[in-house]
């Protein structure tokens, strides 16, 4: 991939998309095609057609979509299905028609069966039912993955690469306690509890489920690797993980320590836990030559620092 290549990053202001922008620019790729949501509605097929006709991107990173935690998945399942299906259908269809050289689509570890052998290999997809609390999102991402595979099969090329990152974190994450994922939501809750002197924080579930986390910059690094390398013989799809997981209880304790929250942590076992464990088997891409680089504790501390400098400081100025 030439450094002058035109690269469209859909969702460039989000967690993974912004990491992709940083990675590309730091490695000499400056011909980036970017559009905010108010500039391009990806669920509008005609708008997507016009955008591709105007900008003619050679490569596409599809990091746009409707995402959220357990609460939002429960309240807005129709939105998760409609928005993600429409974005994937529109972008992949136009990318195929306009001859995009390669496209990376991000699926989700939520697609795996709730009860799944650990670590979860790509061959386990569709071998059982996903976790009910994220079913709508999981089905929409499964559809996007299958779209990639179907285009590759029908047109005899390996241009559409579906990647399955585990729980991502880092700068530009969603830190809302209702709509954010567990790691970023916990950062905000513990920081707020520290500032207000709240003696205890009550968290959903038992704290026993285990989760794997991967820094968004590692996902961006893997994505650039997949855009550059000859992937014609690489088996798809591809898990993107670190191979290390933590219980939610361990995660909460680590975040409380980093935030310097000294109160107690309580668990509301009447609330859902979600899937008992989600650890990916990432041997396919690791055997192909890619490895994650960012230490979890360092990434966690830097993410909290980013939150304080960019979210908290902005709130204090208002």
Query: Among candidates 284, 156, 279, which has minimal Cα distance to 226?
Result: 284
Count of other CB atoms within 10 angstroms of residue 119: 19
Q: Which residues of 24-60 are buried (b: 16+ CB within 10 A; e: fewer)?
A: beeeebeebbbbeeeebbbbeeeebeebbeeeebbbb
d(Cα 223, Cα 37) in Å, to the nearest integer? Answer: 22
Catalytic pick among 8, 137, 261, 304 = 137
The H or E element spanning position 92 is: helix 77-97
d(Cα 307, Cα 310) in Å, to the nearest integer? Answer: 5
Q: Are 261 and 201 in contact (CB under 8 A)?
A: yes
- The partner residues of 59 in beta bridges, in order of sequence, read 7, 102
Active site residue 261: no
- Catalytic positions, written as ranges: 137
């Amino acid at each position: 991939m030439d450094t002058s290549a035109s690269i469209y990053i859909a969702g460039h202001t989000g967690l993974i998309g912004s990491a992709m922008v940083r990675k590309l620019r730091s490695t000499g790729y400056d011909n980036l095609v970017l559009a905010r949501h108010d500039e391009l509605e990806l669920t509008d097929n005609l708008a997507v057609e016009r955008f591709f006709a105007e900008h003619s991107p050679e490569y596409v990173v599809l990091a746009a979509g409707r995402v959220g935690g357990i609460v939002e998945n429960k309240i807005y399942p129709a939105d998760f299905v409609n928005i993600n299906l429409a974005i994937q259908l529109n972008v992949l269809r136009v990318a195929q028609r306009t001859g995009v050289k390669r496209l990376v689509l991000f699926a989700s570890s939520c697609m795996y069966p709730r009860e799944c052998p650990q670590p979860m290999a790509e061959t386990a997809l569709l071998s059982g039912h996903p976790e009910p609390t994220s079913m709508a999102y999981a089905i929409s991402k499964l559809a996007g993955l299958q779209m990639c595979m179907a285009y590759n099969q029908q047109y005899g090329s390996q241009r559409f690469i579906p990647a399955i990152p585990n729980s991502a974190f880092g700068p530009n994450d969603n830190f809302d306690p209702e709509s954010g994922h567990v790691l970023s939501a916990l950062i905000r809750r513990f920081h707020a509890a520290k500032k207000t002197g709240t003696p205890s924080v009550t968290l959903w579930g038992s704290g026993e489920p285990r989760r794997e986390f991967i820094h968004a910059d590692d996902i961006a690094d893997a994505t650039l690797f997949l855009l550059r390398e000859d992937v014609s013989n690489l088996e798809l799809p591809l898990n993107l993980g670190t191979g290390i997981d933590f219980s939610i209880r361990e995660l909460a304790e680590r975040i409380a320590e980093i935030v310097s929250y000294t109160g107690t942590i309580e668990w509301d076992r009447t609330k859902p836990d979600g899937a008992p464990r989600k650890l990916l088997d990432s041997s396919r891409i690791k055997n192909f030559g890619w490895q994650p680089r960012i230490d979890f504790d360092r990434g966690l501390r830097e993410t909290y620092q980013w939150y304080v400098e960019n979210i908290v400081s902005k709130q204090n100025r208002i």
